[in-house]
Amino acid sequence: MILRHTTKEVKERSALTVNPAKTCQPIGAMYAALGVHGCLPHSHGSQGCCSYHRSTLTRHYKEPVMASTSSFTEGSSVFGGQANLLQAIDNIFGIYDPDIIAVHSTCLSETIGDDLGQIVGKAKDDGKIPEGKHVVQASTPSYVGSHVTGYANMVEAFIKYFSFNTNEKIRQVNLLSGWVEPSDMREIKRITEMMNIKSVLFPDTSDVLDTPMTGKYQMYPKGGTTVDEIVSMGNSMKTVAMGEWCSKKAAIMLDNKCKVPFSLTDIPIGLSATDRFVQALSTAGKVSIPDSISEERGRLVDVITDMHQYLYGKRVALWGDPDTLLPLVEFLVDIDMKPVYIVSGTPGKAFEKRMAEVLGEKVPEAKFKNGPQADMFLMHQWIKEEPVDLLIGNTYGKYISRDEGIPFVRMGFPILDRIGHSYFPTVGYSGAIRILEKMLGVLMDRQDATAPEESFELVM
Amino acid sequence: MILRHTTKEVKERSALTVNPAKTCQPIGAMYAALGVHGCLPHSHGSQGCCSYHRSTLTRHYKEPVMASTSSFTEGSSVFGGQANLLQAIDNIFGIYDPDIIAVHSTCLSETIGDDLGQIVGKAKDDGKIPEGKHVVQASTPSYVGSHVTGYANMVEAFIKYFSFNTNEKIRQVNLLSGWVEPSDMREIKRITEMMNIKSVLFPDTSDVLDTPMTGKYQMYPKGGTTVDEIVSMGNSMKTVAMGEWCSKKAAIMLDNKCKVPFSLTDIPIGLSATDRFVQALSTAGKVSIPDSISEERGRLVDVITDMHQYLYGKRVALWGDPDTLLPLVEFLVDIDMKPVYIVSGTPGKAFEKRMAEVLGEKVPEAKFKNGPQADMFLMHQWIKEEPVDLLIGNTYGKYISRDEGIPFVRMGFPILDRIGHSYFPTVGYSGAIRILEKMLGVLMDRQDATAPEESFELVM
Amino acid sequence: MPNKKNYTNGLPDPSELKEEILKKYPRKVAKKRAKAMVVNDPSEGQEIMANVRTIPGIITQRGCTYAGCKGVVLGPTRDIINITHGPIGCGFYSWLTRRNQTKPAEGEDNYMPYAFSTDMQDENIVFGGEQKLKTAIREAFEIFKPSAISIFSTCPVGLIGDDVHAVAREMKAELGINIFGFSCEGYRGVSQSAGHHIANNGIFKHVVGNTDRERTGKFQVNLMGEYNIGGDAFEIERIFEECGITLLSTYSGNSTVESFAYSHTADLNMVMCHRSINYIAEMMEEKYGVPWIKVNFIGAESTAKSLRKLADYFGDDELKAKVEEVIEREMVKVKKVAEEVKPKVEGKLAMMFVGGSRAHHYQDLFNELGIKTVSAGYEFAHRDDYEGREVIPNIKIDADTRNIEDLEVTKDEEHFRDDLVTKKTELEKEGYTFKDYQGMMPEMSKNALVVDDVNHWETEKLIDFYKPDIFCAGIKEKYVVQKYGVPLKQLHSYDYGGPYAAFGGAVNFYKEMERMLATNIWKLVDTPWKHEPEIVGSISIEA
Amino acid sequence: MPNKKNYTNGLPDPSELKEEILKKYPRKVAKKRAKAMVVNDPSEGQEIMANVRTIPGIITQRGCTYAGCKGVVLGPTRDIINITHGPIGCGFYSWLTRRNQTKPAEGEDNYMPYAFSTDMQDENIVFGGEQKLKTAIREAFEIFKPSAISIFSTCPVGLIGDDVHAVAREMKAELGINIFGFSCEGYRGVSQSAGHHIANNGIFKHVVGNTDRERTGKFQVNLMGEYNIGGDAFEIERIFEECGITLLSTYSGNSTVESFAYSHTADLNMVMCHRSINYIAEMMEEKYGVPWIKVNFIGAESTAKSLRKLADYFGDDELKAKVEEVIEREMVKVKKVAEEVKPKVEGKLAMMFVGGSRAHHYQDLFNELGIKTVSAGYEFAHRDDYEGREVIPNIKIDADTRNIEDLEVTKDEEHFRDDLVTKKTELEKEGYTFKDYQGMMPEMSKNALVVDDVNHWETEKLIDFYKPDIFCAGIKEKYVVQKYGVPLKQLHSYDYGGPYAAFGGAVNFYKEMERMLATNIWKLVDTPWKHEPEIVGSISIEA
């Protein structure tokens, strides 16, 4: 037992978080900013923040993750970080030459009250921002929300800074991608192309966090949404925003600032959410859903009906982010699995309401919680009380998996100990087949490993 | 121990095959014929053959696999199967209305000496083949070669029957796909499209053996190479034939019959074979290799270099078909793994020669054998002598995997107990990443399961 | 997906459906198939055409004689090396694909996970394969040291003139173990059924009676025609053991040739799958005087009935009491689950086309849940399996059947159980019936459509007409049927589930029906935009 | 991929490279960085600028004070609940990411796999977080019943005025277990280094000397600055045990606070990572009279040397003999592998930029394989780590350093080891050196480029100039460097390999170098068509 101190008696906690199912805002802001072409994220705080975020993202992607920091010391904390940021902006443009610096704040700079807008304004006034270059800034205090909040704030900041309605409507749809993998971003673009819809996907970390090995390092890889594209989003016909937590803010900003109406859908994970996404695309793009899409859907349904017996009734514990957990849990319910325990450290009242809608009738025994103390320790305690057949979540689940001997599918952030997530999508119908393949793989492996010899099956 | 009678002492055998690493010709002919649009494969033999082949293909694909049979009885075996086949052709066109019937022989009809060409000719003369319909026939005696031979023979038979050089060169390249999965066929088409080359892929089981669930059964799904396409192959500029065992015969037929020159490459599994395939395409299509291809390649190399430590020196046992084993073994050698035991029931001298070329210097300890008695029993005995870290092959490896506790990646035919192979390719650079993901998955799962608690790793 | 129909007030007359099916066929085919399709009327003795050749070109469910002999009957026996003599395919395809479970003790032989083949090559076809077969037998003996080896002939063997029986005799003499062969070439007979018969003959000739054994229990029986798919036999074994009944041998689930050899010392043979095994039961009665009764352990009620019949046979009060106790205890568990499941599945419609007995037996299980069987048929049965054994004398023996040897069996004076013959006579006087299989048709509803050797075209039409909620057949049919949005339950392999036999099996089956019939996954098949109007592109890439 | 260079005849003068690097910088930055880059000349006492602020905007390797305190020093201790007081991020990122292995006995406490945080919310920032911290401590106590709890302050804590030390005192009184806090806010100091110092202070103040313990061995030592990454400490423990040396406590690999509490009863402190732990060694000598020596267990030769120095300290003949026996036996295994590997990797070039000691220690391992270190530097070291401890008196104390408390330590009259002071004096007379760290630069080649706090731009230029065969750094650098086709070995996490310490570790490292340097995978990077001429499309889709 590695987690030897976890017992099944749940004691109510109001202050202590143990084994969190979330992390802090700035890493989300950093990830979002990486999805912009030619952008260097900048962490306005102690250099440890930047180091931690880069390390975590690097471990998840096994790819270079570049970002700079204001390197606060005690002095800056007392006198404010303006001098540090101004110097940083100067150095960054001089040495690393990005097109954009995307500054996010930290708990430190927020606590001391640094006004990023004012500082960036001063940098501009002081001529520290070269012609044609940009500094975007977002307030991302670590003590509010979670990493997802930081992502949403940075996405909103870019829209606020760049998108502009010139009153010339462009026949394109904005896609706010939500916190998904580079592979997922590729897949969303592929689906949209299949629908014959011209779109701008933002942010877009494909070709940024899955770059080829070529013998040459490129600090600003070819991927990422371009400035021109983000600007043009203000002239689009419609926005399809994926994920209430990740994308709603930016969608509202686009609506308010540029009068681009939006439709809010879930991140297209699983069957029903992809159905809704495809329908939202169809409405937004004013196109019929082509047969090729229906065929991909049909292949997914085919796998579901073929493999139903291995999925049916399986009890699942999940942890992660609301925008991915909601459609994923719905998918599990769709295919007769029983998502019985769900935690997310990310707060937001909609979580409980929507989970109740999805689970209420079908899985009345389900326990779910988000926000403070909705952590992996609590989930593990629930599991100790009554076990599950499957775990789905980030790498930290491996301790529970090993201690309890429960099959484990890695999904979410961060995945620190396996590869694949960067390359193979889990969104869309095809992505849902991958989710099925992964779940079936571990469930069937378990069956193969534990079946008595006489009932070891050749055909399954 | 399920295979409790397998011991490490290898006794030379000359007559007994135990746990074969091959099956018989007709199933290959059936699979190839399914890759033609509107075609019903027909087994000219006992109805058991047809039943066995359909069952095996169905279990592998979890999809309808339709084929008819001449339903020999004792009488037909004595008097010849002509009456049965004539009656079958009549019934099939009347009841099931395919565009093409693809007849293959069996050991039974071959032994009694049925001449398929003559019988089909008689059917034609008797007016049993409706206008615009076709009966293609291939001789596929079960006692020669293996399932791979049957595949090659049926592919050749189609070319022989349909392809025609009208002296009007068409600016397209023929692709002879080799025995790969529907997903692989899709991937080969995608790669060729990326290269901007117009091509005909034959056979093509995509959209045949991976059809969507729609609430309606379609006996002849939308996929499969069309008759027009096969006809047009006689006018193509060049043929790229994948796999010596699977595709060489048809390539030669096209060259001899239609004067379409060919280049023979391996099935593009792994890095080097895909390099050669892409280069063959480039030469055949007279196009430069686009950056997008180099980038996919670079992503593969990136994964290789990132994960090298988990692959390096791992001993692997493999079984399967020469055309897939050769490039796969080369890939393992490329990435510093040690493919030490390799068997294939399929005969052919080129196997030994090419394996020796790939393995000779790098893995001098490797044992490999093909043809008679090169079976899974022998391979298992080798493993008993000195174990391996990984097994790669079809589902029958699961018994060895369980008995010996060896991680196991399913590749090849048939895969009876897992899904995924129909949907996610293993060819091309991206397919190679999938192979890496699968191998790494089971190797790392093993590490996670067996590591002492104090060295259980979070980050890998 | 088809809309479901409601047949609570009786089944509709499917005569029009039958006509429609036949319309598609060429005249001769239609004529033949017409006789294989019967609109059932249990009040009349109707005749069905069965056990006749499948018409060439028709997409049938059927397999071959080899499959019936090696795959079905001998396959589940673990302590014998079954060598397939022929090209590699047949041995490969019958390698572990039938889910016959077996449970050897530590150290006991189990050759079932191995495929043995002579892998004939063209030179063997041209010059004969006997030498290769002999060498293969010697190699098998040398490596594995089995106590028995059998040889299964595939199609070319008979044609090229290999005498597997002579080889077997020679090798038996040379190696000193039991070795025997089967002429079960795929083309013999019209289906697997011929293979069953050949297998029965071979086992009876070469194994049964080879060893005697001291009585080890008060009530010694054999269970026949039970192949331990998914552990069915284990569940029946459990019940027998709890009732104090000694199971000498099962033909052939979880079996050994060792146990076949002394199975003639049983007091009674119980026959589950009538089609595949009645030959041995018959021969054993002739030779040893052991009577047989038909039983059915599929369905909780049927299991109870069969157990009671067994107890009645022995007439022992203690046994009867024990049987009642077991039934009562088990039925509590069964009823609990049935009560939970039945409301969710009652009134659903089933079809089943499979085997030589399951298409009949499983109707009992469905009945227990209130699920109606609207159409059924066998894949390889004979008329008696449909109409009951009383028609046997009237069955015309055609050429295909004549090709299968009918063993001439004579009384074994030393071992013949006159006591059992006496017992049988007495019991019969009291109305106890032996060898009394009634067949499927008398037990099916009026207007149910009974179809022998159903084929693909008929399957399509049946689904279209009845819109069944569940279809039972085999792997080849499974995904065809499911594409229509109709779940298919494999009754050969149980879809890798089970056991479904006896009481525990009934519970499993009820739960499986809940899974298959109370799910919403089939509602996912239609796209939500199926009925939406087409939109003309606006924000398209080309625009 | 860069072409490799050959430096067998000495390293080239990198002055031009340095100029080129500096050219890119704004003037003030260039001026500062110039002092942090030294073209090494081991014959002179050169000065390097170190332990100064990283310039804002520069992409540095460095982390923060919290990382040094909680992550590095306290993280590896298993029997204490380490609560991060702050927003969730810091606790999350330091959760199990440093590979400090630990091996509790059955039933012993191990809180390392848990992340504890007060997860501060905005109301805690506005109204203060002390109450929440108290509640969190009570909850932790109630659920886990630990014997000690510590509190780690993150950035906002100091700013909003939470007094974690007062909270600790209050809770300690309330709960009756050892509770103490660290003011290790991320912004204190200029790197992790400040955190080490703060951690040293806290442990010394709150733990060391808390319990006495009877002597359990003849030779009692502590090992300091060894964090059991990848099991290094286990390997050293094994060697000590075989030599008969009693390891009281390791700071802090595979450690417990329980062992820190009696660690003052040791006869000697051995310091591995000078940077992170010398404070405790110093303070322990002042308070308890326990002397310390610098050791290095990275590299087989260094290990042998360190063991001999240890034996010489105790001066015991039996111990000396035992140490020689162990060295001899282990070196046989080490040399065997070295001989296999060396020919394959000899002459390769390495660079390393990491830590406060590894960039120095690992040069020994590389030297044993004939691999030359062309450039190196530390991430968070001080001048003494480069130039040797003799420069300490000359180091200018700047404001950032002054912010870190220097504990005032006084002699503990009761426990002070006068015997050890005497021993030390005697040994010193014989030429034995204590506290004698020489630093990295004197041991590096002439013209090697030494760079403190190397950054991304410099990394790029270094690679371009030297074309190294292997680059050692951390996770943030790994994939950047590898994109150049240069393999990177992480020397923080060992890339999830190891142990690399002592003799067994050397064997592992040699083999790892064989894997990394003798492979052909880097030759796969270039496409085979890289140098082919462009072809103009012919059979294209559009055509």
Q: Hey, what's the torsion of the CAs at A314, A320, A325, A331, to 10 degrees?
A: -30
Query: Cβ of D370: how many Cβ atoms within 10 Å?
Result: 14
Rounded distance, CA A137 to CA A156, Å? 10
Contact A67 D188 (CB under 8 A): no
Burial (Cβ within 10 Å: 0-12, 13-18, ≥19) of residue B362: middle
Provide the residue ranges of all domains of chain B, joining segments of one domain with +: 25-150, 170-289, 293-453
Set D98, D165, D169, D456: catalytic member: D98
In this prediction, residue D8 has a pLDDT band, given cuts at 50, 70 and 90, of: confident
Instruction: Give pLDDT, residue D543.
Output: 47
- Using only C-alpha atoms, chain B has a radius of gyration, in whole angstroms, of 23
Shortest distance, CA C140 to any CA of chain B (angstroms) = 7
What tens digit of pLDDT does each residue of D332-357 get?
999 999 999 999 999 999 999 999 89
Parts of chain C with a pLDDT under 70: 1-4, 535-543
Instruction: Give pLDDT, residue C538.
Output: 58
The set of chains that have 3 or more CB pairs under 8 A with B is A, C, D
Shortest distance, CA B311 to any CA of chain A (angstroms) = 13
The CA–CA distances, whole Å, from D233 to A280, A349, B205, D239, D240 equal 58, 48, 57, 10, 10
Contact A5 D86 (CB under 8 A): no
Candidates C208, C247, C199, C173; CA nearest to C94 is C199
Looking at 3.40.50.300, 2.10.240.10, 3.40.50.1980, 3.90.1720.10, the CATH number of the domain B170-289 comes to 3.40.50.1980
Helix spans in A364-418 (H): 376-385, 398-404
Instruction: Give pLDDT, residue C543.
Output: 47
Contact A5 D476 (CB under 8 A): no
Parts of chain A with a pLDDT under 70: none
Parts of chain B with a pLDDT under 50: none
| A196 in C contact zone (CB under 8 Å) | yes
Protein fold of B25-150: Rossmann fold (3.40.50)
Lookup: tokens for C438: 């009634």
Instruction: Give pLDDT, residue D541.
Output: 61
What tens digit of pLDDT does each residue of D517-538 get?
999 999 999 999 998 777 665 5
| A216 in D contact zone (CB under 8 Å) | yes
Query: For residue D496, what is the nearest residue in chain A, using CA coordinates?
Result: A417
The set of chains that have 3 or more CB pairs under 8 A with D is A, B
Instruction: Give contacts of C479 with chain A, Cβ < 8 Å.
Output: 306
Instruction: Give pLDDT, residue C403.
Output: 86
Instruction: Give contacts of B441 with chain A, Cβ < 8 Å.
Output: 418, 420
Chains A and C touch (3+ CB pairs under 8 A): yes
Contact A94 D26 (CB under 8 A): yes
Q: How would you classify the pairing of strands B315-319 and B338-344?
A: parallel
Task: Tell me which of A9, A12, A18 to substitute to probe the interface with D (most D C-beta atoms closer than 10 Å).
Answer: A18
> A134 by DSSP, 3-state: which?
strand
Instruction: Give contacts of A217 with chain D, Cβ < 8 Å.
Output: 460, 480-481, 483-484
In this prediction, residue D3 has a pLDDT band, given cuts at 50, 70 and 90, of: low
Contact B275 D527 (CB under 8 A): yes
What does the DSSP assignment read for D360-388?
A: HHHHHHHHHTT-EEEEEE-SS--HHHHH-
Chains D and C touch (3+ CB pairs under 8 A): no
Contact C239, C499 (CB under 8 A): no
Set D64, D148, D184, D338: catalytic member: D64
| B301 in D contact zone (CB under 8 Å) | yes
Phi first, then psi: give them for residue D94, nearest 5 degrees.
Answer: -95, 15
Instruction: Give contacts of C476 with chain B, Cβ < 8 Å.
Output: 51, 54-55, 58, 65
Query: Cβ of B131: how many Cβ atoms within 10 Å?
Result: 5
Candidates B90, B148, B77; CA nearest to B346 is B148
Shortest distance, CA C307 to any CA of chain B (angstroms) = 34
CB pairs under 8 A between B and C: 279
Burial (Cβ within 10 Å: 0-12, 13-18, ≥19) of residue C2: middle
Contact C529 A289 (CB under 8 A): yes
Instruction: Give pLDDT, residue D540.
Output: 63
Task: Give me the residues paired with residue D226 across strands.
Answer: D252
Shortest distance, CA B338 to any CA of chain D (angstroms) = 13
Query: Which of D88, D110, D137 shows the shortest C-beta gap to A20?
Result: D88
Shortest distance, CA A458 to any CA of chain C (angstroms) = 7
Instruction: Give pLDDT, residue D403.
Output: 86
Q: How would you classify the pairing of strands D488-490 and D37-39?
A: unpaired
- C-alpha D164 chain-centroid distance: 27
What tens digit of pLDDT does each residue of D354-368 get?
998 999 999 999 999
Query: Which of B16, B25, B142 shows the shortest C-beta gap to C136?
Result: B16
What tens digit of pLDDT does each residue of A231-250 get?
999 999 999 999 999 999 99
What tens digit of pLDDT does each residue of C109-118 get?
999 999 999 9
Which residues, 6 or more positions from A392, have their beta carbon under 8 angstroms from its beta carbon? A316, A317, A318, A320, A328, A408, A409, A411, A412, A439
Average pLDDT taken over every residue of chain D: 96
Rounded distance, CA C16 to CA B380, Å? 59
Contacts 24+ apart (CB under 8 A), B442-447: B442/B390, B442/B407, B442/B408, B442/B409, B443/B310, B443/B311, B443/B314, B443/B389, B443/B390, B443/B407, B444/A417, B444/A418, B444/B310, B445/B407, B446/B407, B447/B310
Task: Give me the residues paired with residue B370 across strands.
Answer: B344
CB pairs under 8 A between A and B: 139
| A312 in C contact zone (CB under 8 Å) | yes
- C-alpha D239 chain-centroid distance: 21
Rounded distance, CA B328 to CA B427, Å? 10
Task: Tell me which of A213, A216, A416, A429 to substitute to probe the interface with B (most B C-beta atoms closer than 10 Å).
Answer: A213
Set D99, D196, D264, D360: catalytic member: D196
Query: For residue A453, what is the nearest residue in chain C, using CA coordinates?
Result: C103
Residue D12 has pLDDT above 60, yes or no: yes
| A417 in B contact zone (CB under 8 Å) | yes
CB pairs under 8 A between A and D: 274
Domains and CATH numbers, chain C: 65-186 (3.40.50.1980), 220-344+390-430 (3.40.50.1980)
Instruction: Give pLDDT, residue C537.
Output: 55
Query: Which of B18, B62, B108 shows the shortest C-beta gap to C187?
Result: B108
What tens digit of pLDDT does each residue of A377-392 get?
999 999 999 999 999 9
Contact A436, A426 (CB under 8 A): no
The CA–CA distances, whole Å, from C331 to B249, C343, C501 equal 64, 18, 14
Query: Which of B198, B289, B459 shows the shortest C-beta gap to D496?
Result: B459
**Which residues in A198-235 belong to E strands, given as ranges?**
199-202
Contact D139 A111 (CB under 8 A): no
Instruction: Give pLDDT, residue A334.
Output: 98
Give the DSSP H or E segment for A316. Answer: strand A315-319
Q: How would you classify the pairing of strands D449-451 and D37-39?
A: antiparallel
Instruction: Give pLDDT, residue C9.
Output: 85
Query: Which of C231, C524, C539 shows the shortest C-beta gap to A237?
Result: C539
Produce one character per residue of B1-16: b if its CB has 16 or more CB atoms within 10 Å, e if not.
Answer: ebbbbbeeeeeebebb
Q: How would you classify the pairing of strands C349-353 and C292-294?
A: unpaired
Instruction: Give pLDDT, residue A276.
Output: 98
Given CATH 1.10.10.10, say whether it is the number of domain B293-453: no
Q: Active-site residues of C: which are they?
A: 64, 67, 98, 196
Chains C and B touch (3+ CB pairs under 8 A): yes
